[in-house]
Chains A and B, each alone.
Chain A
Amino acid sequence: MRKNQIFPNAFLHSSANRVYFVFHACPSPATPSPPQRYPHPPYNIPIAPSNPPGQSLRSNCSNYYSNHLEGTVLSAALTHVPALGFSDAALRAGARDAGYTDATASSMFLPGEGAWELVRWHLVSSREGLGAAWRESWEALEEKEDMAEEQRHKVLKARARQLVVERLRMNTRAGLVARMSEALAIMAQPSHVPAALRELAWLADEFCFLAGDTAVDGSWYAKRGALATVYAAAEMFQMQDGSVEQLDTERFVGDRLDEVETLRKRVDGVGEWLGYTGWSVVNGLRSKGVRI
């Protein structure tokens, strides 16, 4: 375990050449580290040492400190979003908090993209923060060989539910539920739609990865698509949920996952029936002497 190691918690996926880095000091011992099934952590980024000989340092992406700058300013700005919304005003307030100036806030991003960058930062930092929701007891599902298929699905569903609910709770904890409609409006702008959908896809992948799902067959897409849909619907529901501690949202998530499970069972059942029927026909014909 690398609990005492200082490492950059890097955001894995760069979209549009933007890569974020968040630097944590030693994670507190109470928070579990990301899954250790494989000793490589997807969160561990080795930093290149100083100037390797003969290699141009100035490669395609922005520099290390640029990312540090964006991380610092955006995370500070996110604390102002409940009051000021996803806007340039929040970005400026964040820049001031981080010790920078208003000039920094204006120059950091392309003109007019400040609000979108705030939204994207929230999406990416929440996704990365999901690692804290991972439980040490969640071994890889594939390692338990004696587990029946149905049992495996049940376990996966329970873990996925916990993760989706945790992610929704992050919205509440950050005080952003009231501003979510603003964020959705920004994400719905045509130039931002592809990036927003990509974030949703990565979030679904994160859910599956942390829940311990290692299947890489045709169900890879089905699972992620289902989780993405459930999460998106739940987030919309959360925006107007007025219940105590948003328990209605959790119930909503549970209900949707149950529906997904039912659908999966039906599709699998149909597939199984077709398979068995087909093989029975073939074997029947073989027993009759047809050479197939």
Chain B
Amino acid sequence: MAALAASRRRCRLPLYDFLAPRPARIWVRTAASASAQSEPASLPLTEEQRHFLDSALRVNQAGELAAVLIYQAQTPPVIRSHPHLRPLMQHMHDQEAGHFRLFNDLLAKHRVRPTVMYPVWRLAATALGWGTALMGREAAMACTEAVETEIGTHYNDQVRELLAWLRAMEARGERIGPELADLVATLRRIRDEELEHLDHALGNDSKHARPHELLTSVIRGGCRAAIRISERI
């Protein structure tokens, strides 16, 4: 809990003005229609786009919360038996903590509400991390593998959707705000870091976990369900 409070420390972040709460797309009608534009227009987001981004950020924050807590809970049992894994666990935890801070700031700035299931996910993530760590290093790595696979896929889908928006905006001749482009770049970076965690987990014998298929499929199913729930509420 103290670690989480510390993680709420401010950090300098690029600012995503495009996400500013605003109503549905507005426009001005002019009598002289469609005269030549000196520069491409920059329009606010539509209601659907804004709704998508709200739920995307909400899910991302919940996901990073779960990741941080899983690593926090996994670290003591794993390090007790394998002290050489301390730097790796620390590195992964710090990266996740950075992501968590980023999404916290985004949510606060754009007044997006967090998911109602926040305390439930806290408990579940702590229990999952602790449980898999008690089952052994391989099981802990298998848990990491499953979670990172799902999260990586999830971020990939978001990036794909945003890139589709950017393409549509370019096709319409609209100017893409720097903030939106920034967000896409940030999500790509985070996705790559999550996939890097996946590689670490695979490199640490996650496939050797005894009930590997069962464990990973259960965890992946749970992650998918949690993502779907967090998107809505």
Residues of A within 8 A of B (CB): 10-14, 17, 19, 38-42, 44-55, 57, 59-61, 63-65, 67, 140, 142-143, 145, 149, 205, 209, 214-218, 220-221, 275, 286, 291-292
Q: Does B35 contact A292, Cβ atoms closer than 8 Å?
A: no
Q: How far is the CB of A281 from chain B (nearest CB, A)?
A: 13
Contact string, B183-214, partner A, CB cutoff 8 A, digits 1/0? Answer: 00000000000000000000000000000000
Residues of chain A within 8 A (CB-CB) of B107 are: 216
Q: Which of B70-102 contact A (CB under 8 A)?
A: 76-77, 80
Alpha-carbon separation in the docked complex, A12 to B50 (Å): 12
Q: Does A13 contact B21, Cβ atoms closer than 8 Å?
A: yes
Q: How far is the CB of A267 from chain B (nearest CB, A)?
A: 12
Q: How far is the CB of B166 from chain A (nearest CB, A)?
A: 15
Residues of chain B within 8 A (CB-CB) of A291 are: 77, 80, 134
Alpha-carbon separation in the docked complex, A55 to B28 (Å): 12
Q: Which of B97-142 contact A (CB under 8 A)?
A: 104-105, 107-109, 111-114, 116, 118-119, 122, 130, 134
Q: Does A217 contact B118, Cβ atoms closer than 8 Å?
A: yes
B3 contacts A by Cβ under 8 Å: no
Q: How far is the CB of A56 from chain B (nearest CB, A)?
A: 9
Q: Does A61 contact B23, Cβ atoms closer than 8 Å?
A: yes
Selecting from B8-16, B157-165, B222-230, the interface stretch reads B8-16
Q: Which of B2-47 contact A (CB under 8 A)?
A: 4-5, 8-10, 15-17, 20-30, 32-35, 37, 40-44, 46-47
Contact of A12 among B22, B32, B37 (CB under 8 A): B22
Q: Does A51 contact B42, Cβ atoms closer than 8 Å?
A: no
Residues of chain A within 8 A (CB-CB) of B61 are: 216
Residues of B within 8 A of A (CB): 1, 4-5, 8-10, 15-17, 20-30, 32-35, 37, 40-44, 46-47, 61, 76-77, 80, 104-105, 107-109, 111-114, 116, 118-119, 122, 130, 134, 171-174
Nearest B residue (CB) for A12:
B21
Nearest A residue (CB) for B175:
A52
Nearest B residue (CB) for A54:
B172
Nearest A residue (CB) for B107:
A216
Q: Does A50 contact B24, Cβ atoms closer than 8 Å?
A: no
Given contacts A52-B43, A52-B174, contact A13 B23 (CB under 8 A): yes
Residues of chain A within 8 A (CB-CB) of B4 are: 217
Residues of chain B within 8 A (CB-CB) of A142 are: 8-10, 108
Contact of B15 among A39, A48, A143, A205 (CB under 8 A): A39
Nearest A residue (CB) for B28:
A64
Contact of B114 among A63, A65, A217 (CB under 8 A): A217
Alpha-carbon separation in the docked complex, A18 to B22 (Å): 12
Q: Does A275 contact B119, Cβ atoms closer than 8 Å?
A: no
Q: Does B104 contact A216, Cβ atoms closer than 8 Å?
A: yes
Q: Does A50 contact B28, Cβ atoms closer than 8 Å?
A: yes
Alpha-carbon separation in the docked complex, A250 to B156 (Å): 52
Residues of chain A within 8 A (CB-CB) of B80 are: 291
Alpha-carbon separation in the docked complex, A41 to B22 (Å): 10
Q: Does A50 contact B10, Cβ atoms closer than 8 Å?
A: no
Q: Does A38 contact B15, Cβ atoms closer than 8 Å?
A: yes
Q: How far is the CB of B100 from chain A (nearest CB, A)?
A: 10
Nearest B residue (CB) for A67:
B26
Nearest B residue (CB) for A208:
B111
Q: How far is the CB of B177 from chain A (nearest CB, A)?
A: 10
Alpha-carbon separation in the docked complex, A36 to B42 (Å): 23
Residues of chain A within 8 A (CB-CB) of B104 are: 214, 216
Alpha-carbon separation in the docked complex, A292 to B77 (Å): 6
Q: Does B26 contact A52, Cβ atoms closer than 8 Å?
A: no
Q: Does B26 contact A47, Cβ atoms closer than 8 Å?
A: yes
Given contacts A49-B41, A214-B108, A291-B134, contact A59 B27 (CB under 8 A): yes
Given contacts A12-B21, A19-B24, A145-B9, contact A54 B111 (CB under 8 A): no
Nearest A residue (CB) for B120:
A218
Contact of A59 among B5, B25, B119 (CB under 8 A): B25
Given contacts A19-B23, A39-B17, A40-B15, contact A64 B42 (CB under 8 A): no
Q: Does B5 contact A45, Cβ atoms closer than 8 Å?
A: no
Q: Does A57 contact B26, Cβ atoms closer than 8 Å?
A: no
Residues of chain A within 8 A (CB-CB) of B16 are: 40
Q: How far is the CB of A200 from chain B (nearest CB, A)?
A: 15
Closest 10 CB pairs of A and B: A214-B108, A52-B41, A19-B23, A40-B17, A50-B30, A61-B24, A12-B21, A216-B107, A218-B118, A51-B34
Q: Does B15 contact A292, Cβ atoms closer than 8 Å?
A: no
